[in-house]
């Protein structure tokens, strides 16, 4: 509790853009997010008032950070379970709990657990030594994934022969069937310790080179029964796994139905559109959930909402400030979020959201705005 305001203090481990946007939501709730950042230049450290510098791998730093927080949560999935358990033992409220977060940290554990729960999944095997079995059953290519630590497609390899498997020697990987996917979807839900759940409309996510570049809400042409199935699946998983806070279920849509790709237990790129596009943003919803407040409404604020990520573009060209001038002149309706991050090619440095009635024009505006910020042309 913050003695000055009588309102709770939420601590978020990690100082990236997710913490930055959670801080923005915290301000509206009368709070100020406490952030554990690695560096004073981290995206959230640039804006939050209560920033502690330290490593998420250092138990002493985590303890000091958690002291005085009403709830502790995460901007990423890299805090080892044993450290979270130590904080839980100290009596801190840490959400999601270590026993839930493991299924977002470790793809092998996730597949085993989802299998036990009967969730729809691609064919998979726990170890590279199962490669002959996998290729016989599903043919080539076979997908290899780092069990831990992958993001934005790093840690995913398409194997087209035994020789490719040998090249991965020594890595802790699992194997997956290459799913003949029509498109990728995401179902985002939030769950509170009380057990209340709230589900957002199911979205389509568009990836390029393993990175999400565009999110369309609601997923165009998705039959209502399939959308309900995806939402129910996400709610059931959040409940079965004991998630508190947000759960994003990344899905593949195939001719045969939905299969789960992976889980994230934090605000998620597929939910950035909710800042303007839903009655309650995912960031506020996450705060409400970890504080055991009642959940907010998740309905859309427009018939079509499109979010486009802004990636770091090539060096040179006009300044980002000048790009904003031009963009705002061209499209006063485009909502821009910049994360205050150093530009590196391919790095997510911001996003743009556009709301409207017509899918193709909203998509085109969002893509144009993102490309303009990215490339300045």
Cβ distance to ligand ADP smaller for residue 101 or 143: 143
Residue for token digits 């409220």? Answer: 93
Of the candidate residues 152, 236, 276, 292, the single one contacting ligand ADP (CB under 6 A): 152
* Window contacting ligand ADP (CB under 6 A); options: 77-85, 127-135, 143-151, 293-301: 143-151
Cβ distance to ligand ADP smaller for residue 145 or 351: 145
Distance CA 183, CA 204 (A): 7
Distance CA 144, CA 127 (A): 9
Strand order in the sheet with 156-159: 124-125, 173-177, 142-146, 156-159
156 binds ligand ADP (CB under 6 A): yes
262 binds ligand ADP (CB under 6 A): yes
Distance CA 275, CA 176 (A): 34
Cβ distance to ligand ADP smaller for residue 75 or 184: 184
* Window contacting ligand ADP (CB under 6 A); options: 11-19, 151-159, 289-297, 368-376: 151-159
Asked whether the beta carbons of 110 and 120 are under 8 A apart, the reply is no
Residue for token digits 């997956």? Answer: 176
Of the candidate residues 179, 199, 258, 275, the single one contacting ligand ADP (CB under 6 A): 179
* Window contacting ligand ADP (CB under 6 A); options: 7-15, 150-158, 189-197, 313-321: 150-158
Cβ distance to ligand ADP smaller for residue 176 or 204: 176
Task: Map the footprint of ligand ADP across residues 205-244, applying CB under 6 A.
Answer: 207, 210
Helices (DSSP H) in the chain: which residue ranges?
A: 17-28, 59-66, 81-90, 98-105, 107-117, 131-138, 162-167, 224-241, 274-277, 282-290, 320-330, 359-375
Binding footprint of ligand ADP, residue count (CB under 6 A): 21
Q: Residue 302 has what DSSP assignment? A: S
Residue for token digits 């090249």? Answer: 167
The nearest distance, CB 13 to ligand ADP, in angstroms, is: 19
| Number of residues in the chain | 377
Cβ distance to ligand ADP smaller for residue 124 or 339: 124
Residue 40's CB: how many other CB atoms inside 10 A? 10
Cβ distance to ligand ADP smaller for residue 229 or 250: 250
Cβ distance to ligand ADP smaller for residue 92 or 124: 124
Task: Map the footprint of ligand ADP across residues 84-123, applying CB under 6 A.
Answer: 122
Dihedral angle of Cα 165, 170, 175, 181, to the nearest 10 degrees: -80
The contact set with ligand ADP (CB under 6 A) reads 122, 143, 145, 150-156, 176-179, 181, 184, 207, 210, 250, 261-262
């Amino acid at each position: 509790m913050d003695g000055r305001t009588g309102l709770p203090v939420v601590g978020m481990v990690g100082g990236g853009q997710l913490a930055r946007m959670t801080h923005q939501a915290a301000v509206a709730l009368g709070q100020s997010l406490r952030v554990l950042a690695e560096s004073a230049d981290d995206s959230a450290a640039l804006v939050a008032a209560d920033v502690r510098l330290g490593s998420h791998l250092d138990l002493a730093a985590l303890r000091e950070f958690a002291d005085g927080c009403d709830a502790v949560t995460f901007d990423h999935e890299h805090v080892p379970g044993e450290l979270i358990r130590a904080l839980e033992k100290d009596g801190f409220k840490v959400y999601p709990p270590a026993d839930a977060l493991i299924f977002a940290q470790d793809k092998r554990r996730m597949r085993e657990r989802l299998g036990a729960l009967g969730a729809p999944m691609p064919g998979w095997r726990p170890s590279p030594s199962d490669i002959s079995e996998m290729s016989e059953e599903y043919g080539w290519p076979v997908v290899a994934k780092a069990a831990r630590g992958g993001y934005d497609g790093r840690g995913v390899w398409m194997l087209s022969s035994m020789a490719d498997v040998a090249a991965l020697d020594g890595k802790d990987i699992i194997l997956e069937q290459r799913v003949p996917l029509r498109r990728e979807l995401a179902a985002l839900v939030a769950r509170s310790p009380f057990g209340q759940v709230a589900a957002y409309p199911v979205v389509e996510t568009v990836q390029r080179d393993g990175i999400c570049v565009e999110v369309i809400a609601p997923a165009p042409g998705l039959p209502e029964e399939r959308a309900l199935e995806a939402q129910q699946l996400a709610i059931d998983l959040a409940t079965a796994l004991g998630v508190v806070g947000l759960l994003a279920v990344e899905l593949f849509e195939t001719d045969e139905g939905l299969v789960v790709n992976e889980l994230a237990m934090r605000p998620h790129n597929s939910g950035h559109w909710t800042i303007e596009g839903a009655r309650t943003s995912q960031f506020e919803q996450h705060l409400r959930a970890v504080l055991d407040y009642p959940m907010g409404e998740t309905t859309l604020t427009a018939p079509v909402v499109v979010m486009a990520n802004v990636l770091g573009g090539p060096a040179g060209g006009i300044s980002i400030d000048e790009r904003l001038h031009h963009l705002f002149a061209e499209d006063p309706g485009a909502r821009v979020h910049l994360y205050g991050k150093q530009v590196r090619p391919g790095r997510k440095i911001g996003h743009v959201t556009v709301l409207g009635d017509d899918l193709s024009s909203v998509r085109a505006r969002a893509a144009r705005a993102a490309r303009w910020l990215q490339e300045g042309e």
